[in-house]
Chains A and B, each alone.
Chain A
Amino acid sequence: MSQTDVNVLPGGNLFQNKISKEELETLKLEMNKKALLKRRSQTTGRIIANIAVAFVVLLPLLYAVSIAFMPSGELFSMDMNLVPEHPTLENFSSALTNVPLIRFILNSFLVAGLITLGQIISCSLSAFAFSFLDFKGKGVLFMIVMATMMVPGEATIISNYLTVGNWGMLDTYGVLIIPYLTSAMGIFLFRQFYMTFPMSLYESAKLDGCSNLKFILKILIPLTKSAIGAMAVYTFINAWNMYMWPLLVTGSDKMRTVQIGISMLNSVDSQSITLMIAGVVIIIIPSISIFIVGQKQLIKGMFSGAVKG
């Protein structure tokens, strides 16, 4: 933009332009010195306030990282020891060998990944039907789906546990994944996005001989990437962080997810606090990385859909 402005200025070569620009700038600076000073001090104040608050918010994490690198002997002293004097990787390696942490991590990746994939599929199919198709009982069914958001997980968890126990499904991947393969929130989110498309989009695709399934795959999904991205980040993190259900239904190391597995490090003697914290740091890394990478996507998808509604 400024490039073209410079070029179209009448009769000015580059040198002259530069001078006049600088002059203008100093003039402006002098004129607005007071205002600028005020604004600058405001910005500085804002940054200082942010650094202070961010330090408090991040303190638990910074502290955990610091302790994870600390030899366990160093922790047990009466002095202030926030930063390890002799940083070591030993805690990480013993966390990985003391409990089958790698196995827990793989389990969690598998469970959270499949839940995310399953929710995206089932929710886009349902949202498609609720947005583009006409059928008997559509309104009532949609209300019923939305009403499920009011039922807290604790109101169903006991019966669910008894049910899967009767089916002999305890301690399997299936029992960790299947109950979470759909979500009312996901259906709602996708429907919010689909409703912004005109009906004619669907009708013209139909006229061109496009089947419903093809319409979803070739048109809807590419058009709603931001909603899918938001949903994927949100669902994966929540599934990765699940606690109560896996605690109830997994009994063996083979099936345990990270959040349950890591609490096993908690029960061992207090000399191994540093080891436990190293384990916590290891399992926090995947969810934080996914959050940082997907944060923009998450905000875009969550809030643009909600606002349009």
Chain B
Amino acid sequence: MNKKVKAKGRFSPYVYLVPSLVIFAVFLFYPFAKTIYLSLFKTNKMGEAKIFYGIGNYADLLSSPSFWNSMKVTLIFAVIVVVGSMLLGLITAVLCNKAFPGIRFFSTAYALPMAIASSSAAMIFELMLHPAVGIVNKLLGLDINWLNDPNTALYCVAILTAWLNSGINFLYFSAGLGNIDDSIYERASVDGASGIQKFFSLTLPGLSPIMFYTLVVNIIQAFQSFGQIKILTEGGPNESTNVIVYSIYRDAFFNYKFGSASAQSVILFIIIMLITLVMFRIEKKGVKY
């Protein structure tokens, strides 16, 4: 009896981990390894590795103008999205920083975009940007085909994405503002500091820990945007919105170049990992707690 209990005790901890670990193993570790494996091969239309190609897929990518265009587009897109969504999140959080009548309504409104799907939002923006009947052209008195113009399409999808991501940033920054001690503001007021001075010398430094975390999360999220691009522009016009995730999708599921698509996935992973590591390195040096 005693022996049985002991034996059960030795195995039972793992039993609780089995559901999660099995899912991770089958749908995360295995496919991740397989993606790396596929990136070294030329594949057939079924996605089976056929000819060993070494780093050929990577070499082809690095010498392809289309890939570099993708990288450039992704970078511009990510910068607009991250700056835009963090700025909007910060402004709205500061606006709801002090209690006032109606604060509950406004905080719900500012967080709301996080509940909206990229595909639904994309369809609403498609109508707003419609050249003939859309509200944007009507309000501005313009006649621009926003999504079909290579000069404007990327900015449109980026602004939409910034709007979508701003909701959760509002929550992060509100939590961050809540952690700043009110008494430092009072002391600053006594010393005659203006509102703007207080914002730049007290609020922003006080937010730096959460700001840093939010920045990392936002960059990663921006790199992975897909639904809005698929619906609004499909990477066009002239590849002006062909961000790397869309390029992966197109290469794999339209061109059946699974090897090249896998190589791009690996590159995406490496970029995200490097950004995360660099950011954590910077954090250790620079963020004031």
The reply to whether A158 and B135 contact each other, CB–CB distance below 8 Å, is no
Number of interface residues of B (CB under 8 A): 87
- Contact check, B231 vs A122: say whether CB atoms are below 8 A apart: no
| A172 lies within 8 A of chain B by Cβ | no
Say if the beta carbon of B128 comes within 8 Å of chain A: yes
Identify the stretch in B63-71, B88-96, B198-206 within 8 Å (CB) of chain A at 4 or more residues.
Answer: B88-96
Q: A150-B272, A159-B31 in contact; A287/B115 too (CB < 8 A)?
A: yes
Assess whether B269 is interfacial by the CB under 8 Å rule: yes
- Whole-angstrom CA separation of A237 from B32 in the bound complex: 26
A54 at interface (Cβ–Cβ under 8 A)? yes
B residues 91-145 touching A (CB-CB < 8 Å): 91-92, 95-96, 98, 100-102, 105-106, 108-121, 123-128, 130, 132-133, 135, 138
Judged by a CB distance under 8 angstroms, whether B54 is at the interface is no
A288 contacts chain B at the CB level, 8 A cutoff: yes
Contact status A54-B138, CB under 8 Å: no
Q: Find out whether the CB atom of A155 lies under 8 angstroms from the CB atom of B124.
A: no
- A 66-106 to B, binary, CB cutoff 8 A, 1 in contact else 0: 01000000011100101000000000000000000000000
Residues of B within 8 A of A46 (CB): 95, 98, 100
**A244 to B225 CA separation, bound complex (whole angstroms):** 10
A248 at the interface (CB under 8 A from B): yes
B226: Cβ under 8 A from any A Cβ: yes
Taking Cβ atoms with an 8 Å cutoff, the residues of B that contact A are 10, 12-14, 16-17, 19-21, 23-24, 26-32, 34-35, 38, 46-47, 88, 91-92, 95-96, 98, 100-102, 105-106, 108-121, 123-128, 130, 132-133, 135, 138, 163, 166, 171, 174-175, 179, 220, 223-224, 226-227, 230-231, 245, 248-249, 252-253, 258, 261-262, 265-266, 268-269, 272-273, 276
Other than the given A54-B106, A243-B119, A299-B171, 16 more pairs (CB < 8 A) read A53-B110, A54-B105, A58-B112, A133-B12, A138-B13, A152-B269, A155-B266, A156-B27, A158-B265, A179-B27, A182-B23, A187-B20, A243-B117, A244-B227, A288-B112, A288-B116
Could you write out 25 A-B pairs with CB less than 8 Å apart? A43-B100, A46-B95, A57-B92, A63-B135, A75-B133, A76-B133, A121-B19, A126-B16, A126-B17, A138-B13, A151-B28, A152-B224, A152-B272, A154-B224, A155-B266, A157-B265, A159-B34, A159-B38, A163-B26, A182-B23, A241-B116, A241-B120, A259-B227, A263-B123, A284-B120
